[in-house]
Amino acid sequence: MNNKPDYYNDLEKTYSKIWDLLKNGLDNRDAPFHIPVFVCGEIDKSKPRIVVLRGIDKGESKIWFHTDIRSDKIKILKTNPKASFLFYDKTEKVQLRISVISKINYQNDLTKKSWEKTAHMSRQCYLGEKAPGEISTSGPTSGLSESIDNLKYSIEESEEGYKNFCVVENFVKSIEWLYLAAKGHRRARFDLENNKDTWLVP
Ligand SMILES: Cc1cc2nc3c(=O)[nH]c(=O)nc-3n(C[C@H](O)[C@H](O)[C@H](O)COP(=O)(O)O)c2cc1C
4 found inside a domain: no
Q: Tell me, what CATH number does 54's domain have?
A: 2.30.110.10
201 Cα to the center of ligand 1, angstroms:
33
**Does residue 28 lie in a domain region?**
yes
Specify the pLDDT at position 83: 98
CA of 194 to the centre of ligand 1 (A): 32
Nearest C-alpha to atom 6 of ligand 1 is from which residue?
51
Q: Which atom of ligand 1 is nearest to the CA of 47?
A: 26
Distance 196 CA to ligand 1 centre (A): 33
The amino acid at residue 141 is T
165 CA from centroid of ligand 1 (Å): 13
**Residue pair 51/33 in contact by the 8 Å Cβ criterion:** no
pLDDT (0 to 100) of residue 52:
98
Residue 144 forms part of a structural domain: no
Q: Is residue 86 part of a domain?
A: yes
Task: Evaluate whether 29 touches 53 at the Cβ level (below 8 Å).
Answer: no
Domain that residue 37 falls in: 11-111+165-200
Report angle CA 85, 80, 16 to the nearest 5 degrees. Answer: 30
* pLDDT at position 44: 85
Beta pairing partners, 58: none
The pLDDT, as a whole number, for residue 43 is 84
Per-residue pLDDT at 2: 61
Q: How far apart are CA 175 and CA 172, in angstroms?
A: 7
Ligand 1 centroid, distance to 83 Cα (angstroms): 15
Contact indicator for 37, 100 with CB cutoff of 8 Å:
no
Query: DSSP letters of 126-173?
Result: G--SSPTT---TTSS--SS-HHHHTT---HHHHGGGGGGEEEEEEEEE
- What pairs with residue 29 in β-bridges? none
Q: Is the distance from the beta carbon of residue 48 to the nearest atom of ligand 1 less than 6 Å?
A: no
Kindly give the residue spans of alpha helices, DSSP state H, lying in the chain.
Answer: 11-27, 72-79, 109-117, 146-149, 155-158
Q: Is the CB of 67 under 6 A from ligand 1?
A: yes
Residue 157 placed within a domain:
no
Q: Does ligand 1 have an atom closer than 6 angstroms to the CB of 125?
A: no
Question: What per-residue confidence (pLDDT) applies to 154?
Answer: 96
Spatial CA neighbour of 165 closest among 112, 121, 119:
112
Give, for all 202 residues of the chain, the pLDDT tens digit. 568 999 999 999 999 999 999 999 999 999 999 999 999 999 889 999 999 999 999 999 999 999 999 999 999 999 999 999 999 999 999 999 999 999 999 999 999 999 999 999 999 999 999 999 999 999 999 999 999 999 999 999 999 999 999 999 999 999 999 999 999 999 999 999 999 999 999 9
184 located within any domain: yes
Domain total for the chain?
1
- Residue 76 phi/psi, 5° resolution? -65, -45
Residues 50, 51, 55, 59, CA torsion sign: negative
Torsion region of 92: left, alpha or beta (phi above 0 gives left; psi -120 to 50 gives alpha): alpha
Which residues, 6 or more positions from 191, have their beta carbon under 8 angstroms from its beta carbon?
A: 173, 174, 197, 198
pTM above 0.95, yes or no: yes
Domain assignment present for residue 118? The answer is no
Cα-to-centroid distance, 2 and ligand 1 (Å): 37
Residue 128 falls inside a structural domain: no
Question: Measured from the CA of 67, which atom of ligand 1 is nearest?
Answer: 11
